[in-house]
Structure 1
Amino acid sequence: MTKESAYSLTNKQLSAVIGDETNFIANLSNAAALLFENLPTINWAGFYLYEPTSDELVLGPFQGKVACIRIQNGKGVCGTAFAKRESIFVVDVNQFPGHIACDAASQSEIVIPLIKDGRVIGVLDIDAPVTSRFDAIDQKYLEEFVQILLVPSII
């Protein structure tokens, strides 16, 4: 199975799993589990949600090892993707200035902003224990994944 067809299947599975469920946390929880089970060579998949009162991203539903709880807006890969409102994949996190190492085993990372009604409400974060794990194909299909996830959710 090609990477594209595997992602296409994962995105269809997400649509089936969430159906018309509107509970955002429940949908994020199942989405994190689906990614963690379906994506090869990753060691963490989850979400950070924006908390306006502190201007930080706060840990949300995830699968993997214990993670950093708060990330400052604009800091690390997650905070940078959030602040820029754009997806970022990093082939080697050790080369990313200001990378936040929650798990020393993580070597590459992709972060997709969650944008609902023009507001960035958080990010999808996926880490891998190898360098060069993520590319433009991952970005394309994970951006579609996030759009599927956000459609039925009441936020």
Structure 2
Amino acid sequence: MTFDPVPLTGDRATGYDQLAGQAAALLAGEPDRIANAANLSALVYHSLLEVNWAGFYFYDGHELVVGPFQGKPACVRIALGKGVCGTAAETRRTQLVPDVHTFPGHIACDADSRSEIVVPLIRDDTLIGVLDLDSPRPGRFDDTDRRGLETLAAVFVNSPTTF
């Protein structure tokens, strides 16, 4: 099966709605979480402007471990409460960071990244991991991105994926 993303149209909120529909179609019927995470990270990376990293970290019961992603090589393991990803996982709240250099304890996997957004992945009150996006532009992510990426995270978490 081939899948070609449809170019996003309209305002950014509408674009995220379109992206969520594409994500749902892409993940439909596939139970493997690695396959779904790989395809979703590629879809996001190639659909959103000014993103230099998009991917997943999965919680193994002790720490976050890098999963499928698009971008430069990444940090492999992140402790809960450390950096933006670990903070999102520990607090179970989306972290929207306009300037990573002002975030206490930021983990610099890619020196080009200047802003970041991390959405926790929760299913049945269980931490699965996080969806992480970086940008080389300070202030790249805002509340529209937060809402849109939380919707995409929900598409992933609520897909038929085996966790």
Into which bin does the TM-score normalised by the smaller protein fall? over 0.9
Deviates more, 1:18-27 or 1:108-117: 18-27
What SS does the corresponding residue of 1:33 show, helix, strand or coil? Answer: helix
Pairing of 1:6-17 with structure 2 (within 5 A)? 6-17=15-26
Amino acid at match of 2:132: D
What value does the CA root-mean-square deviation take over the aligned residues? 0.7
Give, in whole Å, the separation in 1 of the partners of 2:46 and 2:155. Answer: 18
The 1-side partners of 2:29 and 2:14 are apart by 24
- State the partner residue of 1:60: 67
Residue-pair matches, total: 153
The match for 1:77 is: 84
Q: What is the identity, as a one-letter code, of the residue corresponding to 2:91?
A: K
The within-5 A match list for 1:132-147 is 132-147=139-154
Query: Is 2:41 the counterpart of 1:32?
Result: yes
- Secondary structure class of the residue paired with 1:145: helix
What SS is found at the alignment partner of 2:119? strand
Per-residue CA deviations over 1:70-123 (Å, capped at 9, x if unaligned) read: 111100000000000110110000000000000000000000000011101100
- Partner residue, 1:42: 51
CA distance in 2: counterparts of 1:93 and 1:38, whole angstroms: 23
Give the TM-score normalised by the residue count of structure 2: 0.92
Give ranges in structure 1 of 5+ residues lacking alignment.
Answer: none
Q: Give ranges in structure 2 of 5+ residues lacking alignment.
A: 1-9
Show the counterpart of 2:97: 90
Aligned residue for 2:78, secondary structure, equals strand
2:136 to 114, 117, 129: 129
**Distance apart, 1:56 and its partner CA:** 1.1
Q: Percent identity, aligned pairs only?
A: 49
Residue in 1 that maps onto 2:31: 22
Alignment of 1:111-126 (within 5 A): 111-126=118-133
Q: Structure 2 CA distance, aligned partners of 1:84 and 1:29?
A: 25
TM-score (norm 1): 0.97
**Deviating runs (4+, > 2 A) in structure 1?**
none
For residue 32 of structure 1, what is the amino acid of its counterpart? S
